[in-house]
Structure 1
Amino acid sequence: MKVITLEEIKENININEVLSELKKSFIYYSEKKIICAPITQTHFPEKNADIHIKSGYLKDDKYYYIKIAAGFPENYLKNISPSQGVIIALNTATGIPEILFNDNGFITDTRTALSASLCAQFFGDKEIQSVGIMGCGIQAYLNAKYLKFIFPELKKLYIYGRNIEKLKNIQQKFVDLGCAVNLTDDPNVVLINNKIIICTTSSKEPYLFPEHIIPGTVIIALGADDGIKQELSSSVIFQAKNVFVDSLDQCLKYGELRHVVKQKPEIQSKVLELGDIFAKNEAYISSESYSVIDLTGLAAQDIMLSRYIINKL
């Protein structure tokens, strides 16, 4: 079995090319050109951790991809990245495992952050100079990093976290991106100052409510793929003009949408998959209201990014 190392993966990543591949992943998923297996997930409540498996293949492609991703937040105490995992490519003609991506979760982290950035680029204000980020972990930093790449004029970051001291400890790496950084333990401070909001916390209790959301705002909630996490109050989704999802099926089972549908099943009628929107290339956003994007993470993203790396190598 060929092993592709983390170093090889990082050396062959071009951000603009990856954004293009991720856009295709949403479109192919909605067009059912990529076949995804049901998600398998195991929780470790005592560690606030989980391991999940996402897999599938692009029709008529050479490989079937299996992604094993582990999220162990307490790893930072051991100076180990909280994100871990591998991707295995099996030959679709023989079933033989041929390639192992020893990526330590890098592909998952990258495609998760860049998918949010893709949505910000597609739906957001092209002249954006300020972004709000909820959270202070890996995804908070990667989103800030990639958004700065996509929006070079980005000048300000508003970062929310429950623990100000923890925020201060990581503030410098955000400053090093070339932005003024505003720290707060009040999520409303982020809402009233930004029209792009990226939610990256692991909160199980909603902390974001509609009262202070600015008209024209795009709220991107990512990483809710276990059915437990909830950052947005149900009222945020009830009152949104548009609700976009990476997968309607997954979001109803695992995402922010899951909590809302229990109360108002009719909400499904206004939910659209991103793949359908990207295929039409129509970014209709209301300047009088706000929009919500629910991202649970698709095997399709892992597949397209893995194929991209194989082709680059």
Structure 2
Amino acid sequence: MATVINLKEIQSILQNIDVVAAMEEGFIQYSNGNTVVPPVGELLFENPKGDAHIKYGYIKNDDYYVIKIASGFYENSKIGIPSSQGLMLLFDQKTGVPKAILLDEGYLTDIRTAAAGALAAKYFAPKEISAIGIIGTGIQAKLQLQYLQKYTPCKSVWVWGRTKDNVEKFTDELGSDFDIHIAKSPSELAKHCNLIVTTTPSELALLKAEDIQKGTHITAVGSDTEHKQELESKLLQLADIVIADSIPQSKSRGEIYRAVKDGELLEDKVIELGTAIQNQKLQRTNNEQVTIVDLTGVAVQDIMITKAVYNAFIA
């Protein structure tokens, strides 16, 4: 019978897991061709607006395979529940026997995404960070900021959100740990920050090429379907380095997809994250470069974090 691991148990276990290191290993395995990761399954909803993603796969010659179902319903806040929901299913790779059900309520997706953001900053953010810009005010915005502290001591933060209430809530929750400034627009935020993370479900570009100062790194997290877009396509043309977590996925979703579709970016300019991690020449080489990492979310991240939690649970 499959082991059921609930959210509180998962949260307790994660305190002793280096999730960023797990993500790094996962992306390397993925880019080196040591994984089987089929295309993302996707359901899009209009009333209320939301999306559900089914991501699944395995690392070759490993013990398990994983199926993840995660959703984002963006009006959930109106009824007092988080926008992210979901669960992880872990199976024996040799027999297909279900080994565990992780009732994480979308939490593991949030954590592995934040850890990937920290990993992106580790290799592509400038050494001297003047201020961190966070576009969005939800759980992912908060986690991205918190996980970035693994790689930068910067406490100066600018935040922009769609509503005054959400921005004030963000500031109230994190203001004791950071020096938070409220931006009137994404453009104002960009003028003060050289490390920016975008975390919204926007379908209209929020950051423009003209907004970005030299040396800025951007981690784009929110655009995980073909309809979402947080970065103007010209911004990717401007960038010196453009990184995809998954080149195959970037052909159908995310900022890279939109920029290529708009004729502003050539596909051969794009480098995969796991490849760049292994080659210093493909990483940031000076503080003048503009770098963009487009995170659409890859099943190997779910595989790595699910395995890590399960192995710690049974240890």
Cα distance in 1 for residues equivalent to 2:58 and 2:218? 30
Does the 8 Å CA contact 1:29/1:275 hold for their aligned counterparts?
yes
Cα distance in 1 for residues equivalent to 2:241 and 2:180? 29
Q: How do 1:7-156 residues align onto structure 2 when only pairs under 5 Å count?
A: 7-14=8-15, 17-151=18-152, 153-156=153-156
Cα distance in 1 for residues equivalent to 2:167 and 2:285? 32
SS for the counterpart of 2:250 is helix
Deviations 1:12-60 (A, max 9, x none): 2147721111001111110111111221110111211111100000111
Cα distance in 1 for residues equivalent to 2:222 and 2:186? 18
Q: How do 1:177-188 residues align onto structure 2 when only pairs under 5 Å count?
A: 178-188=177-187
Does the 8 Å CA contact 2:123/2:284 hold for their aligned counterparts?
no
Instruction: Judge which range, 235-244 or 162-171, deviates more.
Output: 162-171
Which amino acid in the other structure matches residue 194 of structure 2?
A: K
Cα distance in 1 for residues equivalent to 2:17 and 2:188? 32
For residue 210 of structure 1, report the CA deviation from its aligned partner.
Answer: 1.3
Does the 8 Å CA contact 1:55/1:64 hold for their aligned counterparts?
yes
Deviations 1:258-313 (A, max 9, x none): 11112328611111001001122452244334111111001000001111112222
Cα distance in 2 for residues equivalent to 1:5 and 1:231? 33
For residue 168 of structure 1, report the CA deviation from its aligned partner.
Answer: 1.8
Which amino acid in the other structure matches residue 67 of structure 1?
A: K
Does the 8 Å CA contact 1:76/1:82 hold for their aligned counterparts?
yes
Aligned to 2:277: 278
Does the 8 Å CA contact 1:36/1:55 hold for their aligned counterparts?
yes
Query: In the alignment, does 2:236 pair up with 1:237?
Result: yes
Does the 8 Å CA contact 1:155/1:180 hold for their aligned counterparts?
yes
For residue 246 of structure 1, report the CA deviation from its aligned partner.
Answer: 0.3
Cα distance in 2 for residues equivalent to 1:139 and 1:83? 9
- For structure 2, the 5+ residue unaligned runs are none
Query: In the alignment, does 2:264 pair up with 1:269?
Result: no
Size of the aligned set, in residue pairs, is 311
Cα distance in 2 for residues equivalent to 1:281 and 1:311? 32
Normalised by the size of structure 1, how large is the TM-score? 0.94
Which amino acid in the other structure matches residue 195 of structure 1?
A: N
For residue 209 of structure 1, report the CA deviation from its aligned partner.
Answer: 0.8
Q: How do 1:198-209 residues align onto structure 2 when only pairs under 5 Å count?
A: 198-209=197-208
Instruction: Judge which range, 22-31 or 280-289, deviates more.
Output: 280-289
Cα distance in 2 for residues equivalent to 1:15 and 1:254? 33
Which amino acid in the other structure matches residue 180 of structure 2?
A: V
Cα distance in 1 for residues equivalent to 2:128 and 2:233? 30
Change (3 A) 1:14 1:126: farther
Cα distance in 1 for residues equivalent to 2:22 and 2:100? 20
Change (3 A) 1:279 1:149: closer
Cα distance in 2 for residues equivalent to 1:236 and 1:127? 22
Identity of aligned residues (%): 34
SS for the counterpart of 1:216 is coil
Does the 8 Å CA contact 2:233/2:264 hold for their aligned counterparts?
no
Deviations 1:130-162 (A, max 9, x none): 2001111111111112123432x2221100123
Superposition CA RMSD, Å: 1.7
Cα distance in 1 for residues equivalent to 2:169 and 2:4? 36
Aligned to 1:197: 196
> Where in structure 1 do 4 or more consecutive aligned residues deviate above 6 Å?
none
For residue 167 of structure 1, report the CA deviation from its aligned partner.
Answer: 1.2
Cα distance in 2 for residues equivalent to 1:149 and 1:15? 15
Aligned to 2:7: 6
SS for the counterpart of 1:70 is strand
Cα distance in 2 for residues equivalent to 1:165 and 1:6? 28
Change (3 A) 1:124 1:50: same
